């Protein structure tokens, strides 16, 4: 069982293809690991073992098979964020309003993953409606960081990141508006990819044309992220902006990876956000390691000076469009920060929204031109290292006091508004053993190039094999 848990997702899928291991054996291994670790972590509060076993038996009987499809997962157990519906499985969205909600349908991403042989084993914890940079809610409580259980795992895809870091599952999904997929990946020393809008189909949603929120894969290494992205992609008639699966797989990009010619590094995205010294030092040292491969590394960044203002407006508007039907009926039962964002959106004028949209268009044009010069942009994933699990948000970094509760993750959301694919890659640790992550940003629609070059970087850094780990209590 321990040997199975430690293997990569790709290795396990190959074993499934050969018949060396069965989906039921993998379920047993994952459940044993969850029982051994999750009492200290609260990563997967909802399990659906009976449903998972029924799906495994269908795959084993040959009822569901995909032959040589490179996106076929073959019966691999996966974890699904508790804001995505899975038919017949409790889905709370992290809200007491939906504490007993059991949908009779599955989100398009889950449909795609299950059709390609992914077996949903459980739902990973998330904050209410997936809004917030830490993972806690009134239904299930806090999810803790396995590197130090007194610390937060980040959010909002925190349960997924913790499940991966501790070997409870081999793959997990996340979602990302501001940095909901990248922050927990950095805080738990796993890999998370925010793909281009439309790369992974999203439905049902009240905002099908929205390009701020995306779904994406999470795993322990870049190659496994590529595997899951292959299994997630493809058009869906319910999503008007969904993209077709590419002709060449994302796994092939990793297999044929080459280093870049020229990369840019910015410690603070051109000075728009403060970064704690341990994070800045670790990321700078990691970025310079590209030079070991003869890659040119230069300090540079596209002009993101108005990214904060753009995000603030579009985020508030997104809250109104998405959550108004719920908040207007149940305002007193919803976390105050969520309501505050909604109220900020109600105060916006058409002029403010239009100006933000125009500014975002200009920002994208600048970012696209930047990648005519550079192959990648590197910067820290977070401004800080993991902090106390009972702290909801960070108010100050390096003497700079933030104006709003979500400004501490500016270094993530400033890149969200570019629509560029962004991957969070483990790049180091603090002196007391807490993980630090680096954002690796690729060109427009450039997931192939990004994954390939990031896999080379991962080999240079040489820390991907430090997970999974047993939960570590505070010193």
CB 137 within 8 A of CB 157: no
Instruction: Give the active site residues.
Output: 81, 156, 180
* Spatial separation of the C-alpha atoms in residues 385 and 366, rounded to whole Å: 30
Does residue 181 come out as left (phi exceeding 0), alpha (psi in the -120 to 50 range) or beta? alpha
β-strand partners of 318: none
| In contact, 265 and 282? CB cutoff 8 Å | no
Contact 147, 430 (CB under 8 A): no
DSSP letters, 412-464, are HHHHHTTT--EEEEEEEE-TTS-EEEEEEE-STT-HHHHHHHHHHHHHHH--G
| Alpha-helix residue ranges (DSSP H) falling in 61-149 | 108-115
CB-based contacts of 338-347 (< 8 A; 24+ apart in sequence): 338/128, 338/129, 338/131, 341/131, 341/315, 341/316, 342/316, 344/312, 344/316, 344/319, 345/316, 345/317, 345/318, 345/319, 345/320, 346/320, 347/316
Beta-strand pair 148-152/396-397: unpaired
Give CA–CA dist 401/411, Å, rounded: 15
Q: Would strands 422-429 and 191-194 be described as parallel, antiparallel, or unpaired?
A: antiparallel
- The interaxial angle of helices 9-18 and 222-232, nearest 10 deg, is 60
- Determine the Cα–Cα distance for residues 197 and 104; give it in Å rounded to an integer: 27
| Cβ within 8 Å of residue 427, ≥6 positions away | 282, 283, 286, 436, 437, 438, 461, 463
Neighbouring C-beta atoms of residue 361, cutoff 10 Å? 10
């Amino acid at each position: 069982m321990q040997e199975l848990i430690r293997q990569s997702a790709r290795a396990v899928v190959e074993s499934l293809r050969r018949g060396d291991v069965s989906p039921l054996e993998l379920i047993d291994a994952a459940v044993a690991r969850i029982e051994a670790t999750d009492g200290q972590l609260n990563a997967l509060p909802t399990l659906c073992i009976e449903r998972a076993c029924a799906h495994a038996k269908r795959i084993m009987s040959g009822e569901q098979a995909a032959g040589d499809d490179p996106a076929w997962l073959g019966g691999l157990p996966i974890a699904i964020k508790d804001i995505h519906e899975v038919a017949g499985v409790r889905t709370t969205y992290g809200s007491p309003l939906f504490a007993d909600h059991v949908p009779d349908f599955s989100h398009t991403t889950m449909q795609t993953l299950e059709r390609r042989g992914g077996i949903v084993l459980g739902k990973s914890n998330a904050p209410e409606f997936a809004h917030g940079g830490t993972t806690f809610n009134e239904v299930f409580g806090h999810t803790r960081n396995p590197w130090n259980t007194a610390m937060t795992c980040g959010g909002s895809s925190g349960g997924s990141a913790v499940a991966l870091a501790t070997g409870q599952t081999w793959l997990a999904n996340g979602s990302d508006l501001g940095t909901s997929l990248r922050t927990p990946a950095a805080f738990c020393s796993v890999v998370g990819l925010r793909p281009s809008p439309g790369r992974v189909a999203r439905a049902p949603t009240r905002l099908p044309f929205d390009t701020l929120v995306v779904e994406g894969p999470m795993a322990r290494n870049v190659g496994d992220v590529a595997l899951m992205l292959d299994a997630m992609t493809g058009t869906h008639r319910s999503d008007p902006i969904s993209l077709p699966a590419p002709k060449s797989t994302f796994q092939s990009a990793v297999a044929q990876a080459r280093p870049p010619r020229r990369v840019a590094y910015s410690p603070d995205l051109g000075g728009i956000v403060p970064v704690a010294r341990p994070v800045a030092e670790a990321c700078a040292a990691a970025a310079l390691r590209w030079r070991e491969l003869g890659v040119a590394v230069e300090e540079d960044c596209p002009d993101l000076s108005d990214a904060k203002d753009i995000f603030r407006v579009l985020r508030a508007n997104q809250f109104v469009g998405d959550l108004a039907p719920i908040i207007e009926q149940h305002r007193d039962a919803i976390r105050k920060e969520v309501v505050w964002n909604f109220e900020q959106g109600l105060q916006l004028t058409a002029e403010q929204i239009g100006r933000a949209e125009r500014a975002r268009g200009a920002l994208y044009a600048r970012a696209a031109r930047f990648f005519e010069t550079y192959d990648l942009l590197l910067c820290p994933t977070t401004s800080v290292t993991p902090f106390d699990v009972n702290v909801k948000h960070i108010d100050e970094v390096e003497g700079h006091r933030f104006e709003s509760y979500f400004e501490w993750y500016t270094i993530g959301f400033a890149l969200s508004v570019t629509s560029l694919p962004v991957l969070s890659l483990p790049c180091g640790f603090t002196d007391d053993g807490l993980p630090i992550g680096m954002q690796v940003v690729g060109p427009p629609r450039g997931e192939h190039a990004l994954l390939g070059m990031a896999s080379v970087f991962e080999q240079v850094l040489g820390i991907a094999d430090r997970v999974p780990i047993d939960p570590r209590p505070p010193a």
